[in-house]
Structure 1
Amino acid sequence: MNAKFLLRASLTTLCLAMAIGLTSCTSALERRIARNPDLYNKLPTSDRMLVEQGRIREGFTKESVFLSWGRPDQVSEGSQKGTKIEKWTYVGTQPVYTDSFGWGGMGWGRGYGRGYGYYGAWDPFWGGYGPTVTYVPYKAASVTFRGNRVTEYLRGPQ
């Protein structure tokens, strides 16, 4: 193979890798806006700025909230004082760290096995001791709509 071919192939590979890297850097918010340009372009300029920041306000439509926060994890409907309401709930997860103490190797306790070499080390297959991470769901945000408009919203652990 000649040098020009190898150079072109190398540059093509590099450009392809950069393109893949750049597309993977876009956030979910940016992807929602890019996939829904008609919804985004219908918004007033002040609302576009809020959406770009991942924020909402009272009076937003369901479509505006979707652009800003994405699809809700749960939707519930009901009525309040004779008015139909819809509530969107967003769920997040947070890590909870615990220390575990259990079976290690072939014996009980801190990994004291019968010659397995796990003395004091945590082994995910046999058990043992050490920090464990569990992700616990929590209600991260909720939005209440009356007549397709936001009437109240809460963001943060609830």
Structure 2
Amino acid sequence: MNAKSLFRICQAAACLAVALGLVSCASPVERRIASNPTLYNKLSDSDKVLVNQGRIREGMTKESVFLSWGRPDQVSEGSQKGTKIEKWIYVGTQPVYTQSYGLGWGGGYGYGWGRGFGRGYGYYGAWDPYWGGYGPTVTYVPYKAASVSFRGNRVTEYIRGPQ
């Protein structure tokens, strides 16, 4: 292999890396559109604009809601006056911060003993990251972020935001 062909291989690899990097920077909506071009091409021009913005409207199809908001986290089905209805639920998470002041396993015993007694045995008491400690703790709590109701294949109602 000569230097010229090695350069071309490196150049092609660099182009591939840049292309993959650009794809990974795409928004979730852009990735869904790229993965489902036939669904997207079937949309009206006004619905394409809404989907590109991550928005929906009454009367949209399930496919356009999927392209705009993604797969729902929960789906429920039922019937109302003889017509099939379906509800999609989207779940979000929000952080809940708590403050803890535990003394941990050491219980105030042996401050400053150094390390080397096994995992977690170097800090003791309030500073021990394994057996206790102080500071904020973050827990992520799920909430209903959005819901979409369909009658047949069309949106009849949608709500976005904490419910």
TM-score by length of structure 1 reads 0.84
Asked if residue 88 in structure 1 is aligned to residue 88 in structure 2, the reply is yes
**Unaligned 5+ residue runs, structure 2?**
114-121
**Secondary structure at 1:55 match in 2:** coil
CA RMSD of aligned residues (A): 2.3
Instruction: Tell me what 2:151 maps to.
Output: 146
| Contact 1:104/1:113 (<8 A) preserved | no
Moved more, 87-96 or 16-25: 16-25
Quote the offset at 1:16 in angstroms: 3.7
Is this contact kept in 1: 2:125–2:132, CA < 8 A?
no
Q: Does 1:46 align with 2:46?
A: yes
Measure how far apart 1:104 and its partner are.
2.3
TM-score by length of 2: 0.81
Per-residue deviation, residues 78-123 of structure 1 (Å, max 9, x unmatched): 123333211000001011111122242421xxxx452333565351
Residues 48-103 of structure 1, C-alpha deviations (whole Å, 9 max, x = no match) = 00000000000001111111111100000112333321100000101111112224
SS in 1 for 2:38: helix
Q: Which runs of 5+ in 1 are unaligned?
A: none
Say which of 111, 120, 123 aligns to 1:117: 123
Q: Percentage identity across aligned positions?
A: 73
How many residue pairs align between the two structures? 153
1:104–1:129 Cα contact (<8 Å) kept: no
State the distance in 1 between where 2:105 and 2:15 align: 50
8 Å CA contact 2:109, 2:125 repeated in 1? yes
Partner Cα separation in structure 2 for residue 54 and residue 140 of structure 1: 14
Give the whole-Å Cα distance in 2 for the aligned partners of 1:21 and 1:57: 32
Q: Which of the numbers 135, 148, 159 marks the counterpart of 1:130? A: 135
Equivalent-residue separation in structure 2 for 1:113 and 1:79 (angstroms): 65
Other-structure match for 2:69: 69
